[in-house]
Amino acid sequence: MLRRSRLLGGVAASVLAAFSVAHAADHQEGTLVVALETLGGQTMDPILEDRAPHAHYQAPIFDALIGFNLEKGGLGPGVTEKWELAEDGLSWFFHLQKGLKWHNGDPLTAHDVKFSLERTMSEESLSSRAAALRRNVKSIEVVDDHTVRVYTKGVQVHFPAGLSRAVFQEGQLMPKNYIESMGVEKFRSDPVGSGPWKFVESVPGDYVEFEAVEGPHWRGTPNFKRLRILLVPEESTRVAMVRTGEAAIASISPESIREVEAANLKLISVPATMQAIYQFWGMYKDSQKDSPLADVRVREALSLAIDRQQIIDHVMYGQARWPMPFATFPYAVDTDIEKWQAWGREALRYDPERAKELLAEAGYPDGFDMKFANTALPGTPYMTQIGIAVADFWQKIGVNVDIKHYEWGAFRLLYRGEQKSLTGAASMFRTAGRPVAVARYSGGFTSKGGHHLFGEEGNCNDFCQAYDKLHQEVVTAQDAELRAQKTDEMLTMVADSWIAVPIIEGMGYWAINPEKVGAFKPIPGRHEFGDVFERMPRPDQKPW
């Protein structure tokens, strides 16, 4: 079952390649200008960049081992046409596309893949998952020029997902020959990749510029001759630039949706790029035994008090969706999507009457006092507004909410170590769109995870231990059916705990000037356009 779907993916890739070849006859002209709120560190080396910036301006240059399902979101073929788990479950095979070339003309082979993975895992790498890769990978073997075999430590059923640009950056491929012969410094100042765009220049704090490859490219052959990504920190300025035509595309937040529509620009909302959530910290600790929030009925009541439709309609200006369970999206693997969408509509409904009943049952008919830490990740400023709206809904059922704002960097300090100032409090949080929920659950709920919402090492009660065990079963289940069943149990356990609760499923928002770029479709779940630029038509061309 699993293997057949991968093969189908391979077929899709060939169809796509044929499609691109057909388009390659078109000439390339003009410059596509994109204005972004951040360019991250503007490093051109894949092992030095964070996830979001890499997907904006490294993706045009570099291909990833595993790519996207362009229609649905989630995983699809990349440089690897198909991938499969060995019978014993202890190694993965990656079968590469044939005939790929680096920008300097060298062929792209399995040696480059081995080199890239090893470089990503190395000590000099700043990839966030470098440590995890080191923990999970035993060795990498080049079987032949187009086959790589990765031996893992134990069974790693979700290993390939970690090499897809659908969420991660660790699957990016770098040219072995070029780096070894020219040196790392040369590679950083003058990177060579295999993507549809060649690097031209990068002016720090200002812009990055690319030039289209001439021949056909399997990801799509660019219609524009040049691509220029500008750093424009202020949102009002970005919107103005799209209006004047100085930029064709600009990233925006929901707050600008009205401006964009009033100016007759086009709005593109990339579905399912994130989930805004709130979560309760340290509820497992002895000190929280008598806290109202320790009662699961109270936590459910707080969810029922939130009118999510109002948040979608008014805070998100209609451009958001009803959420599924924690960290799951319509393109999630191993998940019964319909069942859980139905669950979301029912369990996450707005029902203040029931909320008050539950509060009364729990012994708090007149409400109680609680602390709420509001925060927003860089790039998602609207999280603060969602947080304010949520606090207001809680106030309305009689809960006295003490809301405090934290800048993201300051907030992250709070949940290190003993989580003293967060224990017993709720906070805003979010999760990025991702096809494999379990990796996010690991950070959130296992006793070893960064948040350890269910318990921590040395203080892991029965519930916490049961979860840890279940989690282990999910990540090692080789059989697809068993894995789906265990994933279902995992979702249920977290959903019923009401400890980390989804608020809305957010989107990625872009303002588009239709006179500067033609119609195109984003990839569901991937906010950034680094893998879409090559397919964007010029304004006079057919929509993609």
Partner 1 sequence: MRHLPLASFAIIGTMVFVAVFAPWLTPHSPIDQSLPDKLLPPFWEEGGSTEYLLGTDIFGRDLLTRLFYGARVSLIVTALALTVGGGVGLVLGIVSGYVGGKLDAFLMRVVDAAFAFPTILFALLLAVTMGQGMDTLVIALSLFLWAGFARVIRGEVLAIKQRDFVALARVHGSSPARIMFVHILPNVLNTFMVLLTLNVGVIIVAEASLSFLGAGVPPPTPSWGLMVAEGRGKITSAWWLSLIPGIAITLVVLSFNLFGDWLRDRLDPKLRQL
Partner 2 sequence: MQRYILQRLVQGMVLLVVVTSIVFFIGRMTGNPVDMMLPEDATEEDRQDMIERLELDGSVMDQFGVFIVDAVQGDLGTSIRYRKPATEIFFQRLPNTLAMIPPAMILAIAMAVPLGVISALRRGGIIDRISATIAVLGISTPNFWLGIVLIYLFSVTLGWLPSSRMGGPLNYIMPTITLGTFLVAGFMRLIRSSMLETLDSEFVKLARIKGVSETAVIWKHCLRNALIPVLSLWGVFMGGLVTGAIVTETVFAWPGIGRLTYEAVIFRDYPLLQAVIIMDAIFILFINLLVDILYAYVDPRIRFE
Cα-Cα-Cα-Cα torsion 401, 405, 409, 412, nearest 10 degrees, comes to -10
> Which of 326/372 has CB closer to partner 1?
372
Is 79 an interacting residue with respect to partner 1 (CB under 8 A)? no
Contact by Cβ (8 Å): 532, 273 = no
Of the candidate residues 137, 174, 315, 320, the single one contacting partner 1 (CB under 8 A):
315
Binding mask 262-291 for partner 1 (x = CB under 8 A): xx----------------------------
**For residues 307 and 334, which CB has a smaller minimum distance to partner 1 in the complex?**
307
Q: Contact between 311 and partner 1 (CB under 8 A)?
A: yes
Quick one: 235 or 295, whose CB is closer to partner 1?
Answer: 235
**Assigned token pair, 270:** 């990339």
Answer yes or no whether residue 212 interacts with partner 1 by CB under 8 A. no
Gap between the Cα atoms of 464 and 334, Å rounded: 23
CB atoms within 10 A of CB 166: 28
For partner 2, give the closer residue by CB, 160 or 292.
Answer: 160
> Concatenated DSSP letters for 102-145?
-TTSPBP-HHHHHHHHHHHHSTT---TTHHHHHHHEEEEEEEET
What is the amino acid identity at position 319? Q
**Orientation of helix 480-497 relative to helix 296-304, angle to 10°:** 90
List, in sequence order, every residue forming a beta bridge with 474; answer none if it has no partner.
none
Which of 26, 201, 392, 496 binds partner 1 (CB under 8 A)? It is 392
Give the range of 88-96, 126-134, 254-262, 282-290 binding partner 1 by CB under 8 A.
Answer: 254-262
Contact range with partner 2 by CB under 8 A, out of 4-12, 43-51, 191-199, 216-224: 43-51
Interface characters, 115-154, with partner 2 (x: CB under 8 A) = --------xxxx-xxxxx--x-------------------
Interface positions, 122-161, toward partner 1 (CB under 8 A): none
Phi/psi at 144 (nearest 5 deg)? -145, -175
**DSSP annotation string for 23-56:** HTTS---SEEEEEES--TT----GGG--HHHHHH
Tokens (6 digits) for 534: 């090559």
Could you count the other beta carbons within 10 Å of the beta carbon of residue 175?
23
- Of 295, 312, 397, 400, give the one whose Cα is nearest residue 351: 397
| Shortest Å, Cβ 333 to partner 2 | 16
Q: Does 301 bind partner 1 (CB under 8 A)?
A: no
Minimum gap (Å) between residue 191 Cβ and partner 2:
13
Binding mask 297-326 for partner 2 (x = CB under 8 A): ------------------------------
Tell me the one-letter amino acid at 529.
F
The minimum distance between CB 180 and partner 2, in angstroms, equals: 20
Sign (positive or negative) of CA dihedral 396, 401, 405, 406: negative
By CB atoms closer than 10 A (0-12, 13-18, 19+), residue 543 is exposed
Q: Which does 125 bind (CB under 5 to 8 A by kind): partner 1, partner 2, none?
A: partner 2
232 lies in the binding site for partner 2 (CB under 8 A): yes
Surface-to-core class of residue 299, CB atoms within 10 Å of its CB (0-12 exposed, 13-18 middle, 19+ buried): buried
Q: Is 403 in the site for partner 1 (CB under 8 A)?
A: yes
**Residue in 36, 157, 239, 320 binding partner 1, rule: CB under 8 A:** 239
Q: Does 236 bind partner 2 (CB under 8 A)?
A: yes
How many angstroms separate the CA atoms of 449 and 472, rounded? 13
379 scored as a contact of partner 2 (CB under 8 A): no
29-68: contacts with partner 1 (CB under 8 A): none
> Does 246 contact partner 2 by CB under 8 A?
yes
Q: Which residues bind partner 1 (CB under 8 A)?
A: 235-236, 239, 255-256, 258-259, 262-263, 307, 310-311, 313-315, 384-385, 388-389, 392, 395, 403-407, 409-410
